[in-house]
Structure 1
């Protein structure tokens, strides 16, 4: 065994060679046949690979070596060139496409069965009669019970080809016998617009969680609906939005910018520049626009914010954005896996690159930039934001903006310590609010029957008893002895919002969470001040 170990460096060296060889097989659909050609270097690598395969003394797991190799090569390029293994590619593709084929339920593997949180409204399960609180016991004769239920195995039984049927056996509280429910699989949207509603009589609100293929259509539907309700102003919430398709961000920015305004431009390694301009189709060119950002708003989110800021349109509110100015293209590797390779940089209309530096290497320090910002105080005070005079740019109306590390907001709003709390964030990440609320609902869902979403949002109050029960629940699950006296208000708000999500939809969750949100409050104040300014201007 010791003799085998000393050959590990040799194997890793060979693995790198394999990675270079794989690079020669990348499938650029829009490239010429001459992009990757056979040459002596690749022939040499082929011979080495064959030599290892046929002659090496031990069995070598080529697949695992290739995976390690590809990651190793990409780690030496930039922070955003990534490898997507075969096992993850379908999930990633569905997420970016914006839908998948299934039966349309939100569920927990709860205790020893699949517990339905709620069926997707209008989806296959909803139409078939599945209800929140149902337990799915069997699918096509296969048991879906037991303490070792895994999400991937559950999904493999519930997903299938569009139009096919799955026969479910369902246990429903109050029913003596299992219910036989036949569900026809269909396309289930993975929504990227979390919420769209009116903040005031004329100020609409839309929150986008990522930029997928379906995002522009979702956004446009939401915008049209809000305009029909009287929205002449819009708060576009891109906080915690990591980005996605550049083209979708360009479409959304086009809705706000006048014809022929530059939205963004890109440059590849050869210096070729491609400009993207606004077209005639914008439906919100006259309206006031507020873009909400934070330190987790990245990539396509920054394209929209940069396009508006550099064209002196709207107001950017919040904190400095992430700082990702690189564009990736996805390429299949031929075995079911893929790589997303950085192929160009994007620039805002004034010529800014907002990409953070990775000169010190593509390492954990780059991805832990949040903690650096927290330590240097910039999440609480705009004066702590570091800028470089060499990256100073000026908009057409004379506003000074900076490149080199994210979009700096026009109006800074510090982190809210009452909500951005480590304990609260940990409880959310662990799913404690969701599981607790599900158990609360499971005791007696009937008490919420007939309660409209509007009435729940405006009138329902979370009692102190519920908070105490949640406290006991967390301490039991975590083996701790914490109290929530200091966090009482945010705990109540999160419990109420989670109840609303499980009873109604994500829109209800966001509407409740946005009450007392200090960034939303800043937008409301700016909107009122702008109205007063316009009235005075008219009077003068």
Structure 2
């Protein structure tokens, strides 16, 4: 198969959430054993003090320390990282599963805070704030025309639970200003995007990351879908970069029979910790499919590996990222943190799926991009496997270690309909922003339409495809949409549906023509 690689992916939004294993501080209790380390630390501290006290120019010592920590960690592996205090709060909040705020998703449009969505049952939705509203003031602080950074805007909306903020809003549809008194509350950050029925007996659950509440979200969706008749379960882990290992293990426990091995870890001293499934489990029988792709990593690979190695279900898609390292976090008094790799994890058959990183961090992360060039995203025969890392499942199926999880059923990118740049572009934030701007101009034309009427309206015209094509030609030259017209229109329609009708409507549109979903339904 000849593939045109003229256009490299522009919007490759590969969110590689580094796997997090909650732990305590590293325990260096034997001081004699680490005398050389202590000498090095003393040298480093003496140098920093010397610079701080005697250097001819004023400088920020903290920045030197931060760069030093970064340089030290860069000598280890790509997943041992330093997180500055300025980023740590946002990272921790993303994994927490909720935050205290007003509950809006916004877009900074022409230097004005425009509401894309008031989160269901959140403080703003309850107060009456609608999509398309412009937030002009938070209390007496002007938010428009100032080019405020996003973190500054968030700080105006967050606060203590129960605290109040007065928002001055301009409602374009009514051409008037309205004041809202918002009482800040706990707003959930969903890690399970949706749980729905694909047909009378097939359930679908999409997990976007493994946060503190992921297992609870998964379990509640699973129970609800079983009541609707689910006999087959599809778990979508595409583009899920991982997160908390424990959450993935809890979900695996729902799928595997008692005493089945889920995962084991091994540290530098050779200590092995094994984790087994328990007696509980709400879906230990029934057809099971797990969707993965080149951006599926870390905790997601633990779940997929447990399913594959126990012959419990079928892995569908493309080879996963290949991250088999476990991190422990140590927090510092200034709010920063270090995540250090402390062990490797192994799937039940004993394979490590960690891809090599001996060529350095840059080459390590570029490996994912290289899969476009070598053709493996389009042809299973192009996947390179190491025969020396061959393992067998209990039923005799051959699986491989050394670089991600190879699916049981390979599904290529939709190359016949669109090039890779277009595919990744349509899953990027630019589509959401474009759709918001279009709705902002013509929101009333959709007012009162049922979902079915909306679909009929969108499918009857190429209006938004043509506008989007012109929009991209100005901002991203070289993108050719015509070849992938059906894919582009589907994603545009889905994003319109999401902003008008919610998350479920978005997936209702996308999944009907999803190649992996079609493959699964055809197999049943």
| TM-score, normalization by structure 1 | 0.87
Name the SS of the counterpart of 1:188 in structure 2: strand
Q: After superposing the two structures, state which structure 1 stretch, 170-179 or 255-264, moved more.
A: 170-179
Distance 1:201 1:424 in 2: 30
Residue 410 (1) aligns with residue 408 (2): yes
| Alignment-derived partner of residue 338 in structure 2 | 339
Q: After superposing the two structures, state which structure 1 stretch, 316-325 or 420-429, moved more.
A: 420-429
Which string of whole-angstrom CA distances, capped at 9 and with x for unpartnered residues, describes residues 299-358 of structure 1? 111101111111111101111111110001111122110011101100011110000011
1:63-212 matched pairs, under 5 angstroms: 63-146=62-145, 148-212=147-211
Shift, 1:280, TM fit: 1.4
Indicate how the Cα distance of structure 1 residues 490 and 396 shifts in structure 2: closer, same or farther if over 3 A, else same. Answer: same
Name the SS of the counterpart of 2:483 in structure 1: coil
Among residues 443, 446, 451, which one is paired with 2:441 in the alignment? Answer: 443
Shift, 1:462, TM fit: 5.5
Distance 1:280 1:137 in 2: 55
Shift, 1:500, TM fit: 0.9
| Alignment-derived partner of residue 504 in structure 1 | 501
| Alignment-derived partner of residue 520 in structure 1 | 517
1:480-491 matched pairs, under 5 angstroms: 480=477, 484-491=481-488
| Alignment-derived partner of residue 394 in structure 1 | 392
Distance 2:402 2:179 in 1: 59
Structure 2: which 5+ runs fail to align? 1-21
| Alignment-derived partner of residue 370 in structure 1 | 368
Indicate how the Cα distance of structure 1 residues 190 and 419 shifts in structure 2: closer, same or farther if over 3 A, else same. Answer: farther
Q: After superposing the two structures, state which structure 1 stretch, 45-54 or 366-375, moved more.
A: 45-54
Alignment root-mean-square deviation, CA: 2.2
Distance 1:64 1:269 in 2: 31
Q: After superposing the two structures, state which structure 1 stretch, 28-37 or 63-72, moved more.
A: 28-37
Distance 2:521 2:275 in 1: 32
Distance 1:232 1:357 in 2: 39
Contact 2:321/2:404 (8 A) holds in 1: yes
Indicate how the Cα distance of structure 1 residues 465 and 271 shifts in structure 2: closer, same or farther if over 3 A, else same. Answer: same
Residue 34 (1) aligns with residue 29 (2): yes
Contact 2:48/2:61 (8 A) holds in 1: no
Distance 2:450 2:409 in 1: 36
Distance 2:220 2:157 in 1: 30
Indicate how the Cα distance of structure 1 residues 424 and 415 shifts in structure 2: closer, same or farther if over 3 A, else same. Answer: closer
Distance 2:443 2:41 in 1: 65
Greater C-alpha Rg: 1
Shift, 1:373, TM fit: 2.1
Distance 1:295 1:66 in 2: 35
Indicate how the Cα distance of structure 1 residues 354 and 174 shifts in structure 2: closer, same or farther if over 3 A, else same. Answer: closer
Name the SS of the counterpart of 2:512 in structure 1: coil
Contact 1:116/1:133 (8 A) holds in 2: yes
Indicate how the Cα distance of structure 1 residues 278 and 386 shifts in structure 2: closer, same or farther if over 3 A, else same. Answer: same
Shift, 1:200, TM fit: 1.1
Indicate how the Cα distance of structure 1 residues 111 and 224 shifts in structure 2: closer, same or farther if over 3 A, else same. Answer: same
Shift, 1:444, TM fit: 3.6
1:11-26 matched pairs, under 5 angstroms: none
Shift, 1:419, TM fit: 4.7
Contact 2:426/2:488 (8 A) holds in 1: no
Distance 1:286 1:204 in 2: 14
Distance 2:269 2:438 in 1: 60
| TM-score, normalization by structure 2 | 0.90
| Alignment-derived partner of residue 535 in structure 1 | none
Indicate how the Cα distance of structure 1 residues 96 and 420 shifts in structure 2: closer, same or farther if over 3 A, else same. Answer: farther
Residue 300 (1) aligns with residue 296 (2): no
Count of residue pairs brought into register by the alignment: 498
Distance 2:480 2:321 in 1: 34
1:256-405 matched pairs, under 5 angstroms: 256-360=255-359, 362-405=360-403
Name the SS of the counterpart of 1:368 in structure 2: helix
Contact 2:77/2:361 (8 A) holds in 1: no
Structure 1: which 5+ runs fail to align? 1-26, 528-540
Distance 2:83 2:345 in 1: 23
